[in-house]
Amino acid sequence: MAKLLSTGDVLGLTGLPAKTFDEWNSKGIVVPKEGGEGHGSHRKFTWMQVLGILVAVELRNGERGCVLPYVGKVVAAFAAMDEKELQAAFKKGATHFLTLAGNRPYLEGPRCSDMVNVQQIYRSVILHIQEMEGRI
């Protein structure tokens, strides 16, 4: 899926305040795929970046929390991941984010209640894109 999502899409999916997301962008925590180079330039994100942002927000809001630099690493790791690779992990039952292994997300089956369900987030992003495209 090649659809690029806007800042508004990201904010709508994550519930992040615009000020927080702008700060993440200005600090280089989240780097848009396109735009953002000047005043009036609209930032666009790949849907895999958005998946990473959603996972990172869940981690940050979870019981354990996470530091801001880790948010950036999680987003970059998902952005570097191919959708086919992600779907292959889901087929093997690896549906929940455990940690980063190098520059890649490491997924496993659910082991404890505070693990982030990536498959559920993936489905919500796909549904959002389909709604935007008028397919639903």
pLDDT band at residue 112, thresholds of 50, 70 and 90? confident
pLDDT of residue 130: 84
| Residues 4-32: tens digit of each pLDDT | 889 999 999 999 999 999 999 999 999 99
CB 81 within 8 A of CB 104: yes
Six-digit token string for 26: 């200005």
List domains and CATH numbers for the chain. 4-132 (1.10.1660)
- pLDDT, tens digit, for every residue of 52-103? 999 999 999 988 889 999 999 999 999 999 999 999 999 999 999 999 998 8
